[in-house]
Structure 1
Amino acid sequence: MAWLLPQALRCVGEILVCRGPSFDTVHGFNVKCLWGWELMVTIDKAAEGLELLKESILEHVAAHPDGIGNSEIARDLHLESDFQGKQKNYLTWSVIGLLVNDGQLVQEKRGRFAFYRIPVGSEDR
């Protein structure tokens, strides 16, 4: 049984170095490479980018204690976006939604507009 561990580690190593979604034969098994090195780097980049967006938005909102709207956040941070001229600023709106769901931002309705601010008591964090 001791011979299985080195063989298993070698097999895992071969799976991790494959590039992109492809079928490879590793020790007689057909393996779809979904978690190869390239994909892991891509996931890490996306996670890092999301965290940077969250931090930027939180810092900007903190500078506006009375609250700030999504359009202003997108414009001020140069993150304005659209899809074929419609659905404007969904990038910041989606990240703001994550922050609201996590309790890091609160939403206040003022008429038909929504403003976002840091929750009371969490400014010192």
Structure 2
Amino acid sequence: MKLFVIPALLAGAAQAFQFLNDIPVDAYYNEGSDFAIEWKPENRGDTFRLELYTFLVNPILVGPSPYPWGGPIYDYNDTTTVLDAAAKYSDGNHTWHIDLIDGREGPDWYYRFGAILASVGEVADFARSFHIQAP
């Protein structure tokens, strides 16, 4: 019976992490400025990995699925950058100096923050993506 409780506990731990930034739909931020990434601080001593993801708004069609039941295959040209390998839950924020990743700027590219929670090995993403523009 105890084994049935473990998945529920892990799911609860992943849901507890919460980014607090209120990023508007289709927001643009300027390269070279600072962005304060904020999360709900927790009184605990462990850490998580804070990541930044970039990906295409409109993916590239690679081709048909090799399987008869699959749909087309798309490439979002996504990348992951680690902003802080050991961000503290108790800090509640991290300042990111906005730099373009591989020249990815403008309306064709999305950026998004994520947190890899070491305690459960899962990603707790902030759902709202945004764009970066060069000055």
Q: TM-score, normalised by structure 2?
A: 0.29
> Relative contact order (alpha carbons < 8 A, sep ≥ 6): 1 or 2 greater?
2
Greater share of strand residues, 1 or 2?
A: 2
Q: TM-score, normalised by structure 1?
A: 0.31
